[in-house]
Structure 1
Amino acid sequence: MQDRPTRSALYIPGSKDRALDKARGLPVDVILFDLEDAVTPDAKIAARDTLFAALAGGGYGARQRIVRINALDTSWGTADAAAVAAMDCDAILLPKVNSPADVDALAALLPDLPIWAMMETPQGVLNAAAIAAHPCIAGFVMGTNDLAKDIGSRGRPALMMALQMCLLAAKSAGIVALDGVYNAFQDDDGLRAECAQGRDMGFDGKTLIHPAQIAITNATFGPSDDDIALARRQISAFEAAKVAGEGVAVVDGKIVENLHIVTAKATLAKAAAIAALEN
């Protein structure tokens, strides 16, 4: 269980003052300040100063602030990393991670800042376990659009194996795993369905391209009132069973063992962390 909610992670262009200011009031758990895809080549250098000033100005509350730089093999990547070193942020997001060597290269430039990896290449997926195990890696972000492009696939079903490989690697290493974006930002039903699928797979949250996607994503990846009530009843019933010398309890006609209590306690801890972030 991560100690900070990661239900929703919204990409915000680092070059746009208005968007950076608006992000201060959005009910999102993670802000992905973008210096890569959301910034045109002619604006990339100026975007570093724009983003530095926005972060220095504060106002983002308890949200996680993660800066996505350009890949280190581009003409902007190394200078991006140097600029991020002076920024008031929580982590740095590295695109196109193919192997632990890519993480090593960034860690050499920023040894004290947690690194998140964009998992968006076939090679990166095949090396997911080794990347997740790197001591500097704190999270995976699925780059489903780039991955689909590189594979030449169409539709989410074709990406399921890659998603599951990265998810298993992240869970094995105890790091955060965020699902990829849903491109049709006006399709609420489609977003809700994909969020539910990602949640049920085990992802900790979803990356977003538009503020209109936040509410549905937060609701889907956060525990519902029914989830919280069930968790409390399971814990209470199990504690009563232990007092009576029993190893299991029964709640709603279903067996409740210690493993279910671990999940129930994680649900309550997540609900408490969300409440603390939102208050």
Structure 2
Amino acid sequence: MSDFTPLRSVLYMPGSNERALEKARTIACDALILDLEDAVAPDAKASAREAAAAAVASGAYGRRTVTIRVNGIGTEWHAADLVAAASAGPDAVVVPKVETAEQVRGLATALEWAGAPEHTKLWAMVETPEAIFDVRELAAASPRLSALVIGTNDLVKELYAEHVPGRAPILPSLHTILLAGRAAGIAVIDGVYNDVKDTEGFLAECTQGRQMGFDGKTLIHPGQVEGANSAFAPSEQAVEDARGLIAAFEDGKGAGVVTYNGKMVENLHVESARRTLAIHEAIVALDG
């Protein structure tokens, strides 16, 4: 747990916007995705690629996790994006519309051939029906893969579904991706919330995501960072309860049944409490 990396707030920033890249240095998000895909027009792809690589190489983002999202497999920009990102050495390269385990292995090999350092991981975006059907194998396909990122907008589109409060139309897919990520021992990051003016709806979806088990949420606006950071962090009460539960368990070893606040304590509860403390300590270290 000591190596836990907070990913409560993962903010997309357009790689073509130098002002945005500079502003990102001061935003209190846990992670950045410097985007070369949706946020960049075709005639700006090459310059965005150079700007994102330079931003990563600058080391100006402190302890934030900094990633680059390349254009998708099969596009005319994908190969050059992957080489540039590998050379820059971000914390991860994010690839959209990954659909199979074979593609994951191919991407990992391509990063290795392009000279990506060992610390540069792969984040696969899961956002199509094909990916959902193969997600268990996809999630376990390579040691370089460290996170699944859900592309909820594309998933809704592909399913002919609708964006509704509570996300009932895509809940089965979200649960399936979470199961695959947890089975593989990698992070799973929730999709974006589109209406940046709807704070109440955004916070409700953050709460839902935390309750479901996501590590954090991808964001499209800096104004969403504070809400995500709060929603995906253990509360003061949760931290206090975790410490108390662990202490009660340690004090009661060998004494038969151990209880804390009237509830029986077992190893599984202790493991959950230790994870809560690990998350809290990692957040404190990052914020500090």
Which TM-score applies when normalising by structure 2? Answer: 0.93
User: Amino acid of the residue matched to residue 150 of structure 1?
Assistant: E
Aligned 1:216-255 pairs, distance under 5 A: 216-242=227-253, 245-255=254-264
Q: Which residue of 1 aligns with 2:277?
A: 268
Q: What secondary structure sits across from 1:110 in the alignment?
A: helix
The question of 1:117 aligning with 2:128 is answered no
Q: Which residue of 2 aligns with 1:133?
A: 140
Q: CA deviation at 1:256?
A: 1.5
CA distance in 1, matches of 2:6, 2:257: 31
Give yes or no for contact 2:52–2:68 (8 Å, CA) kept in 1.
Answer: no
User: Amino acid of the residue matched to residue 179 of structure 1?
Assistant: D
Runs of at least 5 residues in structure 1 that lack an aligned partner in the other structure: none
Aligned 1:21-32 pairs, distance under 5 A: 21-32=22-33
Which TM-score applies when normalising by structure 1? Answer: 0.96
Give yes or no for contact 1:68–1:93 (8 Å, CA) kept in 2.
Answer: yes
Q: Which residue of 2 aligns with 1:92?
A: 93
CA distance in 1, matches of 2:211, 2:102: 32
Q: Which of 215, 219, 236 lines up with 1:208 in the alignment?
A: 219
Aligned 1:1-279 pairs, distance under 5 A: 1=1, 3-111=4-112, 112=116, 113-135=120-142, 136-155=144-163, 156-242=167-253, 245-279=254-288
CA distance in 1, matches of 2:197, 2:258: 45
Q: CA deviation at 1:9?
A: 0.3
CA distance in 2, matches of 1:204, 1:264: 16
CA distance in 2, matches of 1:49, 1:269: 36
Q: CA deviation at 1:51?
A: 1.3
Q: What secondary structure sits across from 1:56 in the alignment?
A: helix
CA distance in 2, matches of 1:178, 1:240: 37
CA distance in 2, matches of 1:151, 1:67: 27
Give yes or no for contact 1:15–1:47 (8 Å, CA) kept in 2.
Answer: yes
Give yes or no for contact 1:179–1:206 (8 Å, CA) kept in 2.
Answer: yes
Q: CA deviation at 1:268?
A: 0.7
User: Amino acid of the residue matched to residue 142 of structure 1?
Assistant: I
Per-residue displacement from partner, 1:89-112 (whole Å, max 9, x unpaired)?
111011111101222232222124
Q: CA RMSD in A?
A: 1.2
Q: Where has structure 1 moved over 3 Å in runs of 4 or more?
A: none
Q: CA deviation at 1:145?
A: 0.1
CA distance in 2, matches of 1:248, 1:57: 55
State percent identity of aligned pairs.
47
Q: CA deviation at 1:151?
A: 0.8
Per-residue displacement from partner, 1:132-164 (whole Å, max 9, x unpaired)?
001231100000000110110013210000000
User: Amino acid of the residue matched to residue 39 of structure 1?
Assistant: V
CA distance in 1, matches of 2:244, 2:228: 26
CA distance in 2, matches of 1:48, 1:148: 28
Q: CA deviation at 1:19?
A: 0.5
Q: What secondary structure sits across from 2:88 in the alignment?
A: coil
Runs of at least 5 residues in structure 2 that lack an aligned partner in the other structure: none
